[in-house]
């Protein structure tokens, strides 16, 4: 799982190098995500629609869309997915910044995510003046304390860093699909299905539609497609716009114990993933 952090770092370095050399065409930054106008309410409704669609194919124990999805009762206008389009951090335009409407955030590149937190809070100074601040602790692009101003339609927001006064402009995305499309005819192993946790807290989940989820809570995660034949697991996940990363390992299941990549995991309830 440490490799995931390396991939995020590599993507950031590549983005920075691309910006420094000014050799990347605008076409490379074009993404499949829609940038049509949307609202916080529409974002929540879209998540509920996606949940209903996913539930038809997923193990009913867990809803993949809600593992890192938006809150059904968002508390602020940052709820949803965003990209940097101008200003400080614009070299990271390929990254997507997701805010759940409460305090949870994720920096996404492909189906790989770095878990972080954010806040939108009022602060009152000694003179009695109140200012609302947005604070985010992302690894790249948005990391600090900011004042902010939304466009009238809430599709863009300009962040101003309270320390250096540099600005960052974010554009809201109508949608961002980060869970891979399940394979048409996946090979699955009944013994492998479900959720597992190692002694150090890393959790794995394999569902019957061929989707795998690997997470280190509060640090990072990824979604992948997989095939399992009773002895080997082959899985693929994507980051940025590069060719999917393919991995293969032997595994064994003995009752409630899984050995995966030479690490022991114990069976847990899928509800513990959320």
Q: What tokens were used for 108? A: 């996404």
Same domain, 207 and 151: no
What CATH number corresponds to the domain at position 257? Answer: 2.40.128
Q: Taking 70 as the threshold, does the pLDDT of residue 242 lie above it?
A: no
Same domain, 9 and 119: yes
Nearest to 224 by CA among 267, 261, 186: 186
Alpha-carbon span 241 to 32, nearest angstrom: 10
Residue 123, SS3 per DSSP: strand
200 within domain boundaries: yes
Same domain, 109 and 34: yes
Same domain, 161 and 253: no
202 within domain boundaries: yes
Give the mean pLDDT of 61-66. 79
236 within domain boundaries: yes
Least confident interval from 10-24, 66-80, 127-141: 10-24
Mean pLDDT of the chain: 84
179 within domain boundaries: no
Range of the domain at 70: 2-173
Domain count, the chain: 2
Q: Taking 70 as the threshold, does the pLDDT of residue 60 lie above it?
A: no
Give the mean pLDDT of 239-256. 86
Same domain, 240 and 146: no
* pLDDT tens profile 117-128: 999 999 999 999
Alpha-carbon span 207 to 217, nearest angstrom: 19
Same domain, 198 and 123: no
266 within domain boundaries: yes
Same domain, 132 and 217: no
Do 67 and 213 form a contact (C-beta atoms < 8 A)? yes
For 131-183, the DSSP string reads: EEEEEEE-SSS-EEEEEEEE-TTSSEEEEEETTT--EEEEEEES----SPPPP
Same domain, 59 and 137: yes
What is the value of pTM for the model shown? Answer: 0.79
For 191-245, the DSSP string reads: TT-EEEEETTS-EEEE-TTSEEEEEETTTEEEEEEEEE-SSEEEEEE--TTSPPE
Q: Taking 60 as the threshold, does the pLDDT of residue 21 lie above it?
A: no
182 within domain boundaries: no
38 within domain boundaries: yes
Q: Taking 90 as the threshold, does the pLDDT of residue 28 lie above it?
A: no
> Given the structure tokens 């996404």, which residue do they identify?
108
185 within domain boundaries: no
Same domain, 30 and 71: yes
* pLDDT tens profile 131-185: 999 999 899 999 999 999 999 999 999 999 999 999 999 999 998 889 999 999 9
Same domain, 149 and 19: yes
Same domain, 44 and 163: yes
Same domain, 127 and 7: yes
Q: What does the pLDDT read at residue 33?
A: 44
């Amino acid at each position: 799982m440490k490799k995931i952090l390396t991939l995020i770092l590599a993507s950031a370095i590549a983005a920075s190098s691309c910006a420094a050399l000014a050799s990347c065409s605008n076409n490379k930054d074009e993404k499949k995500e829609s940038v049509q106008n949307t609202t916080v309410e529409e974002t929540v409704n879209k998540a509920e629609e996606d949940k209903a669609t996913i539930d038809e194919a997923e193990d009913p124990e867990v809803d993949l869309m809600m593992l890192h999805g938006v809150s059904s009762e968002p508390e602020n206008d940052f709820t949803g997915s965003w990209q940097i389009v101008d200003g400080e951090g614009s070299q990271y335009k390929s990254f997507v910044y997701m805010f759940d409407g409460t305090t949870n955030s994720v920096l996404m590149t492909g189906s790989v995510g770095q878990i972080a937190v954010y806040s939108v809070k009022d602060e009152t100074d000694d003179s009695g003046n109140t200012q609302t601040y947005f604070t985010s602790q992302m690894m790249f692009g948005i990391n600090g304390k900011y004042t902010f101003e939304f466009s009238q339609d809430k599709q863009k927001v300009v962040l101003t860093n309270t320390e250096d006064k540099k600005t960052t402009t974010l554009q809201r995305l109508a949608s961002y699909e980060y869970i891979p499309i399940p394979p048409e005819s996946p090979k699955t192993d009944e013994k492998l299905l479900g959720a597992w946790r190692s002694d150090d807290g890393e959790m794995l989940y394999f569902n019957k539609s061929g989707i795998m989820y690997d997470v280190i809570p509060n640090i990072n995660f990824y979604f992948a497609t997989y095939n399992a034949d009773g002895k080997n697991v082959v899985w693929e996940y994507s980051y940025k716009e590069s060719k999917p990363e393919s991995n293969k390992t032997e595994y064994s299941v003995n009752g409630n114990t899984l050995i995966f990549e030479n690490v022991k995991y114990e069976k847990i309830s899928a509800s513990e993933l959320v």
